[in-house]
Structure 1
Amino acid sequence: MNSQVRQQGGADGTVGKALEVLDQVADKGRPVRFSELLAETSHPKATLYRLLQTLTNQGMLAYDEDRQTYAPGLRLVRLAHSAWRQSSLAPVARPYLTALAQKVGETIHLAQLDRGQVLYVDKMNAAEPIEMFSQAGKVGPGYCTGVGKAMMAFLDADDRQDAINRQAYFAHTPNTLTTPDALAAELDRIKAEGVSYDREEHEPGIICIAAPILSSTGRVIGALSITTSTSRQSFDGLEQHRAALLRTAQDIAGAAESWQFPT
């Protein structure tokens, strides 16, 4: 969402600019000073200050006078929880994630697609957690993650091409797919096989098997992955979980049929 909001900020006027600043603060993952925000924004100093004041007055940001820092506010937290309940697949899927995590003993991710990028909406850690990038609420790349590729593979032709065009193709590891053509070929394979893999494409040593979660009409509503490390598991070991993964994806899709998914 981050880059898209920034690209659209000018076109959306004051609201777009305010969302851009809100996104900038949230991206830091810690309280941030005005000087840091000013160094990274295209807004004039007076405009940035006015936007921060408005966001703070509305409770979307909180200002710490002692430290002189900004952080997400309680109103934003309430909105985030409401979005999680109403617009996220996570509440519906949670019991199925728990059961799958207990069955396979590995980390389980639940994700949805946001403008070609992966939004992690829930995560169940293994009994012995592995340090990795993904956390609930984080946005990750679509082109080099198992869940991202699983969702893109099952989009209709126009949406798939749009998602392919939105990728950065930065080489995170030697295994990362770095061209649209390579990604398109990979997505064709995934659609034929029904599952995708992360072959240490985003983080060294991290691998996964992933499957899309599809509505009864075939619309992509999310994806599910079983993630581990090369020090604990091989691809052959992950492949043994394929049936459980696909069954869980189908169970979540079935449970979510009555839920009104955002389009």
Structure 2
Amino acid sequence: MTKSGHSDGTVGKALEVLDAVAAYGRPVRFKELLADGAYPKATLYRLLQTLTNQNMLSFDAESGYYTLGGRLIRLAHAAWQAGSLGPLARPHIDALSLRLGETVHLAQLDDGQVLYIDKRNATRPIPMYSDAGKIGPGYCTGVGKAMLAFLPDSERTVALAKQSYYRHTEHTLTTPEALEAELAEIRQTGISFDREEHEPQIICVAVPILGQGLRPLGALSVTTTTLRHSLDDLEALAPDLKACATAIARDADPWVSPTESRTVSA
């Protein structure tokens, strides 16, 4: 739990505590949050009490554990339904994964990083970091680079400044200049790769889902391991990915611009 630097008062602090509880991926005790966090004991206790009163967190007095609350889960479900490509894209990624027999990811950008919206596992699943709901880096993932490449110039500059450029593997791009050069190539080809940049032996091919004005709504990837396939194998799947992305973008048009769509249909 780290301070964001924003002056968002109590609301911002409470959201940071929610993020911290969620990051554990399991029930968590007060002493863990205190040890790992940035807030004094009294402040943390007050924030947890408020979140619990609002059912954003749940507290088991007998065990002393905090977990995510029912209200937060309902809000998350509503956000997935109304605020993500997930429901619209589901039939398309289902069909694509079934046809290819490989792992398919659906992602959107979240403050310059990758938010994994949905995932379909391969016929033979591969252990990897990316699961629905997780946040991944933008600069060293196929879906991240596919979306960053098509951001408007001013937004891309801001997004690139938010990347950590941490070297996860020997293949990771670690400077804005190297990343920008690759993004320029991605804008030409419409295809992005993860060349074992985030996890050893994990590779992928990705394409952006582009809305009106070629603005990235999200991205799709097919992910596998170097033990099974090569980058050339994955590149051969790019036409399937692009066709799927086009279909999702077409279905997403009313979702992206509901007012305009209602006007046209009327």
Which TM-score bucket, shorter chain as reference?
over 0.9
Q: Superposition pairs for residues 91-240 of structure 1, below 5 Å?
A: 91-240=87-236
Q: Are 2:4 and 1:7 aligned? A: yes
State the one-letter code of the partner of 1:121.
Answer: I
SS at match of 1:259: helix
In 1, the alpha carbon distance for the partners of 2:257 and 2:71 equals 24
CA distance in structure 2 between the aligned counterparts of 1:144 and 1:251, rounded to whole angstroms: 26
2:77 to 77, 81, 84: 81
Which of 41, 58, 63 is residue 59 of structure 2 equivalent to?
63
Segments of 5+ residues of structure 1 without an aligned counterpart are none
Q: Is the Cα–Cα contact under 8 Å of residues 212 and 223 in structure 1 kept in the other structure?
A: yes
Superposition deviation, residue 217 in structure 1: 2.1
Distance 1:251 1:181 in 2: 33
The 8 Å contact of residues 221 and 261 in structure 1, kept in 2 or not, is answered as no
Query: Displaced runs of 4+ in structure 1, greater than 2 A?
Result: none
Unaligned runs of 5+ in 2: 259-266
Q: Percent identity?
A: 59
Aligned-pair CA distance for 1:261? 6.6
Task: State the distance in 2 between where 1:127 and 1:65 align.
Answer: 43
Partner Cα distance (1:42, 1:209) in 2: 39
Which secondary structure does the structure 2 equivalent of 1:131 belong to? coil
Residue identity matched to 2:17: V
Aligned to 2:42: 46
Task: Give the distance between the partners of 1:206 and 1:66, measured in 2 at CA.
Answer: 43
Would the aligned equivalents of 1:87 and 1:261 in 2 still touch at CA under 8 Å? no
- CA distance in structure 2 between the partners assigned to 1:261 and 1:69 by the alignment: 43
Residues 30 and 112 (structure 1 numbering): CA distance in 2 closer, same or farther, change over 3 Å? same
1:144–1:201 Cα contact (<8 Å) kept: yes
| In the alignment, structure 1 residue 249 sits paired with structure 2 residue 242 | no
Q: What is the CA–CA distance in structure 2 between the aligned matches of 1:15 and 1:226, rounded to whole Å?
A: 38
Work out the number of aligned pairs and report it: 258
Quote the Cα distance in structure 1 between the aligned partners of 2:177 and 2:215: 24
Q: CA RMSD in A?
A: 1.4
Which amino acid is 1:149 matched to? K
Q: Partners of 1:217 and 1:167 in 2: how far apart?
A: 25
TM-score computed with the length of structure 2 as normaliser: 0.94
Partners of 1:8 and 1:16 within 8 A in 2: no
Q: CA deviation at 1:260?
A: 3.1
1:198 is paired with a residue whose SS is strand
| TM-score (ref. length: structure 1) | 0.95
Residue 8 (structure 1) shift:
4.4
Q: Which residue of 2 aligns with 1:17?
A: 13
Cα deviation digits, residues 35-79 of structure 1 (max 9, x gap): 111112221110100100110111100112222111111111000
